[in-house]
Amino acid sequence: MSKQAVTPRVCSLASALEVVGEKWSLLILREVFYGVCRFEGIAQNTGAPRDVLTARLRKLSDSGILRRVQYSERPQRSEYHLTEAGRELAPTLLSLLQWGQRWAPAEPRATGGFVHDCGQRLHTFLGCQACGRPVRGGDLSVGGKPVFAPREE
């Protein structure tokens, strides 16, 4: 049997997942979005092992998603702040959170939710900028070919 060369599809999703596509990175970003910027607080709220947390914070900083800001010289301590690239991940994290509230089993369930500055509870959705309609998987195509085509179950 001959082995065929595997050539993965090149895409921006794969590139993004190289940076933020694992549990600890996403939980770190959640904490920084919530205003928890110091190592100890992030460690406590995520439960990440210290060595893993250190590596993920370094990767997120090196990737330009977080900015490391020193707040103490002795001992040397830093805080982590979102960059513009990091802030632009907010809709993605909110969508994952909303999906998790609906589909992922969790006990106990988190209460409350995000409130928009208009005063209403936030429900994220992806919409077409041109026509304003919500985007659903069956509405999309790439190169004229439908993607996320619905299947009969």
Set out the domains of the chain in order of their start, with CATH numbers.
12-103+113-146 (1.10.10.10)
pLDDT digits (tens, 9 = 90+) for 13-54: 889 999 999 999 999 999 999 999 999 999 999 999 999 999
Arithmetic mean of pLDDT over the chain: 88
Model pLDDT, residue 136: 80
Q: Is the pTM of this model over 0.85?
A: no
Residue from 64, 4, 51 nearest 24 by CA: 51
Classify residue 2 as exposed, middle or buried by CB count within 10 Å of its CB (0-12, 13-18, 19+): exposed
Residue pair 79/69 in contact (Cβ under 8 Å)? The answer is yes
pLDDT digits (tens, 9 = 90+) for 74-100: 999 999 999 999 999 999 999 888 888
pLDDT at 9 over 70: yes
pLDDT digits (tens, 9 = 90+) for 87-145: 999 999 998 888 888 888 776 666 667 888 999 988 888 889 999 998 887 788 888 88
Quote the tokens at residue 127: 């919409």
Regarding beta strands 66-72 and 77-82, do their DSSP bridges make them parallel or antiparallel, or are they unpaired? antiparallel
